[in-house]
Amino acid sequence: MDFFEAVEKRYSYRGEFESTPVPREDLIKIVTAGTKAPSAGNLQTQSFLIITDPVTRAAIAEIFNHKGISTAPALILLVSRRQELGPNKISFELKDYGAAAENILLAAAALGYATLWTDGETSMVSGRQEKLAALLGIPEDHSVRAVVPVGIPKTPGQQPPRKPFDELVKFEKY
Ligand SMILES: Cc1cc2nc3c(=O)[nH]c(=O)nc-3n(C[C@H](O)[C@H](O)[C@H](O)COP(=O)(O)O)c2cc1C
C-alpha cells in the first residue's frame, strides 16, 4: 500500500478483533517501522514489547477491561524511557514515543491491520501503568505509555472527518 493511502486508511478501531493471528514477520515489520522513527538526539528512548501469548494477553485484558485489547491476537506495548537532555535537562520521551507510535500505526494500516492508540486509557486510569509494569517486568525508569491492539477487525471502520484543511493549514503567515 502506498504511504498516502496508509495515512488515509489508518483509523482508531475500538471493536472486537478476529482471532486470526498476526504473523510474526508482520509484527516485526510493524515494530521495525517504530524503531525508524526520529528521536531527540537519536537517543531512542522508545521501545516496544510484542505480546501474543494468550495467558499474558488475558492478564493485560483484565487490567483494561476493553473490547479491543481483550480480543486482539497481538498487542504492541509502547514503552518510553526517561532521559534528560541538555543543560535544561529536558526529557523528550513523550515526543520520541509519539513519533514511534505513529510509524507503528501507519505500518500496521499498510499491512491491512486495525489498531488503537490507547495512551489515554493506559495513563489516565490510576494504577494501570503500575500493574502493567509489575506484570511485564518494566524497569523503574521506563513507562508503558500505550497498549496497541493489532489484528483484523470484525467490523472495520474509517477515520472520522478532520477539520477543514484551511483551518489547520496556513501558507506564509498564520
Ligand atoms: C496520544 C493519544 C492518546 C489516545 N488515547 C486513546 C485512548 O486511550 N482510547 C481511545 O479509544 N483512543 C485514543 N486515542 C485515539 C484518538 O481518540 C483518535 O486518534 C482520534 O479520535 C482520531 O480518530 P482516528 O484515529 O480514527 O483518526 C488516542 C490518540 C492519541 C494521539
Give nearest CA residue, ligand 1 atom 20: 12
Pocket test for ligand 1, best of 8, 9, 12 (most atoms within 8 A of CB): 12
Are 131 and 63 a contacting pair, CB within 8 Å?
yes
Residue with cell 489484528: 151
Query: Would 12 be classed as within a structural domain?
Result: yes
Find the domain containing 72 and state its range: 3-154
Determine, yes or no, domain membership for 18.
Answer: yes
Number of structural domains the chain divides into? 1
Atom of ligand 1 nearest to the CA of 98: 1
* Beta-strand pair 90-91/84-85: antiparallel
User: Is 52 within the bounds of a domain?
Assistant: yes
Q: What is the DSSP letter of 42?
A: G
Residue 126 in domain? yes
State how far the Cα of 27 lies from the Cα of 76, in Å rounded to an integer. Answer: 8
- Kindly state whether residue 132 falls inside one of the protein's structural domains: yes
Does residue 163 lie within any of the structural domains? no
CATH number of the CATH domain containing 113: 3.40.109.10
Q: What are phi and psi of 17, to 5 degrees?
A: -105, 155
Angle, helices 24-35/93-110, rounded to nearest 10 degrees: 140
Per residue of the chain (174 residues), give pLDDT as tens.
899 999 999 999 999 999 999 999 999 999 999 999 999 999 999 999 999 999 999 999 999 999 999 999 999 999 999 988 888 888 899 999 999 999 999 999 999 999 999 999 999 999 999 999 999 999 999 999 999 999 999 999 999 999 999 999 999 999
Q: What is the pTM of this model?
A: 0.97
For ligand 1, which residues put their CB under 6 angstroms from it?
11-12, 14, 116-121, 159-160
Considering the domain boundaries, does residue 128 fall inside one? yes
Residue 112 lies in a domain: yes
